[in-house]
Structure 1
Amino acid sequence: MSTDHQQARAALGARMRELRDESGLSGRALAARLGWTQSKISKLENGRQTPTMADVRAWAEGVGRPDATAELQGRLRTVETQYRSWRRQLAGGYLPVQEAHAAQARRTGVRRSFDPTLVPGLLQTADYARGVLSRYTRVHPSISDVDAAVAARIERQQVLKDRKRSFHFLVWEGALVSRLCPPAAHADQLERLVRWLVPGHVRLGVIPFEAPLNVPAGVGFSIHDDVLVITESWHAEMWLDDPADVALHCRAWNALAAGAVYGPEAHRVIVRAARTLPGNH
């Protein structure tokens, strides 16, 4: 967990404790009023647990300050902008996550992204997306709404039709050969990518294995209007809006982009990846 996230959560907890102190309620009394355990009160106030939106609303009402709900929820959004635990996000299934990304896509005018292991979500076919999302259930086995999430991901791709927006995707060749769906679906996915090799408001660059790299490939990320970066690890997704964090990812993207090929050269790399599939040698 990042230091920035810890500090933001601690600040939220301190404000919640301040509101409780002002109400004259003890932690035990507030816990009884809300039907919570006293340990939850303590963890929230000491920044050891991230509350939900419902939690901060109940807190404001419990201490007799419903007018503080908006403030607390605003502080919570700041915490969640930086660090979003997959365990918490996926508690409601894949669909809400896809909807959150769809909302961000509608807010973004210029998007740049880098993907080292997967075809970008906005460029995925339904069968490829199903293969990817179903494999994540091995890490998060409680998820059962893969089909709904696939449908939402495909619907999100409508944003690509808006020529007022700009998209620049960088894909590492490893993403093209990673086996995340049946061979036929994989072949269809590679064929689908070819359509995006024609110059336009959507630009696709491929970084071949043999390309000299200015920086290690690292993890995938997307940059939105140069003010927000979305990246992830196995345990969390980070939405980073600190200018220094955004600038760092912009430097990484520029360094990676220097090794990308486009048009016919990118087509040759995609064909090379297709030849690795069974029956295509």
Structure 2
Amino acid sequence: MQSASSNVQQARQVLADRLRELFKDAGLEGKDLAALCGWHPSKVSRISTAKAQPSEDDIRAWCRACGAEDQAGDLIASLRAVEGMWLTWRRLERAGLKRSQEERLPLYQRTRRFRSYCSWALPGLLQTYQYTEDVLRTIQRQRVATDDVADAVAARMERQRVLHEGQRLFAFLIEEPVLRNTLSAGDDQEEQLEHLLTVCGLPNVSLGVVPVAQRRPHLPVENFWIYDNAQVNVELVSGYLTLTQPSEVKAYADTFATLADIAAYGDRARALILRARDSLR
């Protein structure tokens, strides 16, 4: 599976190749284009080799110099797509955690089939109020200056309505150690596990627990969500990756299917949850 940086770099290279073709088709050399745009020649070289990302104004000037202003809109759209693929947590959460929660709501509302894999915390749609508060408080302390945790928790709780509205299907996979993590303490964690038993009984929800004993032959995987067959979001240490290429979506769908095959469901999953709950007492 490709890394975040390789996926983004590949998209940047496609944009750079299109820009380089423009000045070649116009019969220009890089130095000619630089002169027409009023730039140093090294700027054209960096952009056309994907070593530097152009701004929207750069693309407009580039197209104007090449006599291809009609292509500026399409190229700017490609640039925005590249920028949207990878968001650092600092950029995504610069206005606080509430906004980052609210911005995902339209995606949840238009999705009909959800697949979620989590290796370190329960997915947000399955969290209790207190568990959510504990998770978001930990995130806020580590990387967000603005303290709007209470509002962010309320926004995530509101988002959980998608579990009960419309004709949606949900498939959740969690690693067994998630049931025993220390993001919530004592009674809060026990309440969360009781809630998990209730939610997994919903007719539109499938919950699989990947047992530790079955995990060893398979490589570690980062947390990810698959929305229909249209988009994958991946949570990494440094940021949030969005993938829409069919081949990339398929790679994550195949990984999900592989892990689903070794997961425990129904009574076996409930037994693992109850064992984790009882260990708290």
TM-score, structure 1 normalization: 0.78
- Matched residue, 1:4: 7
Is this contact kept in 1: 2:136–2:149, CA < 8 A? Answer: yes
Matched, 1:248 2:258: no
Partner of 1:201: 204
My pick for the range that moved more, 62-71 or 218-227, is 62-71
Matched, 1:177 2:180: yes
- Give the whole-Å Cα distance in 1 for the aligned partners of 2:85 and 2:249: 12
Query: 2:151 matched to 1:148?
Result: yes
Deviation at 1:98, TM superposition (A): 1.3
CA distance in 1, matches of 2:197, 2:213: 20
Match of 1:190 among 193, 214, 219: 193
Q: 1:272 aligns with which of 261, 270, 275?
A: 275
1:33 matched residue in structure 2: none
Check if 1:80 corresponds to 2:83: yes
Asked whether the 8 Å contact 1:60–1:67 carries over to 2, the reply is no
C-alpha separation in 2, matches of 1:113 and 1:223: 6
1:256–1:10: structure 2 CA closer, same or farther, 3 Å change rule?
A: closer
2:38 alignment partner AA: S
In the alignment, structure 1 residue 231 sits paired with structure 2 residue 243: no
3-state SS, counterpart of residue 112 of structure 1: strand
Q: Is the 8 A contact 2:133 2:149 kept in 1?
A: yes
Change (3 A) 1:249 1:63: closer
SS in 1 for 2:101: helix
Q: Is the 8 A contact 1:217 1:256 kept in 2?
A: no
- Percent identity of paired positions between Structure 1 and Structure 2: 32
Establish whether residue 112 from structure 1 lines up as the match of residue 124 from structure 2: no
SS at match of 2:225: strand
Summarize the Cα distance change of 1:84–1:246 in structure 2 as closer, same or farther, 3 Å threshold: same
2-structure distance, mates of 1:23, 1:164: 58
Shift in alpha-carbon separation, 1:217–1:163, aligned structure 2, 3 A: farther
3-state SS of the aligned residue for 2:184? coil
Count of aligned pairs: 264
CA deviations 1:233-281 (Å, max 9, x no partner) are 110111111222112111211111112222222121111111232xx0x
Structure 2 runs not aligned, ≥5 long = 24-32
1: CA distance, partners of 2:127 / 2:53: 33
2:171 alignment partner in structure 1: 168
How far has the Cα of 1:218 moved from its partner? Answer: 2.1
In 2, Cα distance between the equivalents of 1:166 and 1:270?
22
Which stretch of structure 1 is more off in the superposition, 132-141 or 220-229?
Answer: 132-141
Cross-structure match for 2:124: 121
Could you tell me which residue of structure 2 aligns to residue 215 of structure 1?
A: 218
Q: How far is the alpha carbon of 1:24 from its aligned partner?
A: 4.4
Shift of 1:138: 3.9
Distance 2:201 2:120 in 1: 23
CA distance in structure 1 between the partners assigned to 2:268 and 2:132 by the alignment = 26
Matched with 1:94 is 97
Aligned alpha-carbon RMSD (Å): 3.3
